[in-house]
Amino acid sequence: MNWLYILSDQMVTIILAVAVFETVLYIILYRMSSSNTHQLCDSLRNMLRGIKDPPEQDRSRIIHDEIVSLLDCAESLRKTSAEDFKRLLSNIRNQDARKIDLKSYRIDSWSNVANAIVQAFPLLGIFGTILAIGQSLQGSEGDVSVIMAAFTNAVNTTILGLVFALIYMIVDAFFQAKSGRLKNELNKYRDVIKHYQHESELVK
C-alpha cells in the first residue's frame, strides 16, 4: 500500500509539526494570560481613580495584593470620607468584567486543546510504530533496507512521541499553575465588584 509507506515516512514530520503548533499555542496562551492579568490590575487601579490619597501603586504587586489594598482603602474611606467612598463605588460600578470573563473563557478553551495535544504525543508515537511495522511487513521478503528503514521510523516516532509528551507535560504543569492562580484572582475580583455594586445600589 503506497499510502502506508507515505504516512509511515512522514510520521516524524507530523510529530514535529504538532510540536511546533503546541509551542506556538502555549506562547499565545501565556501572552493571553499575561494580558488578562494586566487588565485585571488596571481595572483594580481604575477603581481608585479620583480618590484623595489613594494607596501607593506598585506595579510589582500581584493581583491578590491589589485586591487587599482596594478593600483596605474602601473600609478606610467608609469611615473617613463619604464623598470619596461614593466616588469609589461609582468607579466600581463602571467596571465591566465581561471582557475579562470572555478572555478567561478563551484561555480555558485553548488550554484544554493544548492539554489534549500533550496527551496525544505518546499516541502519535505508537501510531508511527504501528505504521512502521506494517511498512516492514509489506516490504519484499529479505529486503533488509525496507526493514531497516521501518525500524528506524518506529524508533524515531516512539522516542519523539515520548520526549515531546514529557516536555509539554512540564510546560503544561507550569501553565496550569499560572492559570489556576488567575482563576482564583478573577473570582475574587468578581466578588469585589458584586459586593460593592450591590452596596452602591443600597447607597442610591
Taking residue 90's Cβ as centre, other Cβ atoms within 10 Å add up to 14
Per-residue pLDDT of the chain (204 residues; tens, 9 = 90+): 566 667 777 888 899 999 999 999 999 999 998 888 888 888 888 888 887 777 676 666 677 788 888 888 888 888 888 888 888 888 887 776 677 777 888 888 899 999 999 999 999 988 888 887 777 776 555 567 777 777 888 888 899 999 999 999 999 999 988 888 888 888 888 888 887 777 766 555
Residue with cell 501572552: 31
Q: Are 113 and 18 in contact, with CB atoms under 8 Å apart?
A: no
The pTM (predicted TM-score) of the whole model is 0.79
Query: What is the rounded distance in angstroms from the CA atom of residue 168 to the CA atom of residue 25?
Result: 11
C-alpha cell at 23: 509551542
Residue spans per domain, the chain: 2-203
Query: 172-179: long-range contacts (C-beta < 8 A, 24 or more apart)?
Result: 172/26, 172/114, 172/115, 172/118, 175/26, 175/29, 175/30, 175/33, 175/111, 175/114, 176/111, 176/115, 178/30, 178/33, 179/33, 179/107, 179/108, 179/111
Q: Looking at residue 138, what is its pLDDT? A: 67
Q: Are 110 and 28 in contact, with CB atoms under 8 Å apart?
A: yes
* Secondary structure of residue 141 in the 3-state scheme: coil
DSSP H or E stretch at residue 42: helix 2-46
Q: Looking at residue 50, what is its pLDDT? A: 80
